[in-house]
Amino acid sequence: MRSVLVLGPTGWRAGFRALVPAEIARTLPAWWKRRGSPVPWPIDVRALLVDDVRRVGHAATMMELWDRPKGELRTALFHRIAREAHVDTFVVYWPQGGHTEGMSWEFHGLIKDILDEQLQAEAIRIFPEASVLGLDGETGLATLGEPDRRTTYFQDLLDAGCPVAPWSTYEELRLFVRKHLSP
């Protein structure tokens, strides 16, 4: 059994029109309270992924399910969750158009842990929407990031050897997450 922390954006960037099927809103777990938007937010999809991972027998959580005592820094919360939940696998959900500011900090922490040999790259599973994964025309190498967005350093996760599974539909995303966590 794995212990999984599901990471990714909370919301959509301003002006982005997300194409999330209405079915996602109908399949959200009963324990999750939606944000009220007619289109599910990325945080809603992360809750669905947590539920999917739990249904296949793994422990799973996301930061929003943990209380942060007054005065606890978000960084401390992140590390406390990883420690107290015995996280051994990080699932990164990356839809096109998701806010990446918080992801930047999370990615930095994960890369630092890889560099400090506290974490193996294989423990970080990246699930980018297919449009977020590209191909460098000069080198032929895969690239991770969104054009015209400051996502340059996100490439480090790909270059470090973290497993990547691009998806085109939310059905594929859910299937790939479950498949990548199988023994």
What are the pLDDT digits (tens) for 83-100?
999 999 999 999 988 888
Question: Encoding tokens for residue 7?
Answer: 């990471």
Q: Which residues contact 182 (CB under 8 A, 6 or more apart)?
A: 56
User: Cα–Cα–Cα angle for 162, 11, 97, nearest 5°?
Assistant: 65
Strands 59-61 and 124-128: unpaired
CATH class of residue range 3-180: alpha beta
Least confident of 40-49, 53-62, 84-93, 125-134: 125-134
pTM metric for this prediction? 0.91
Is residue 36 left, alpha or beta, with left meaning phi > 0 and alpha meaning psi from -120 to 50?
A: left
Structure confidence at residue 174 as a pLDDT band (50, 70, 90): very high
| Least reliable range by pLDDT among 8-17, 61-70, 160-169 | 8-17
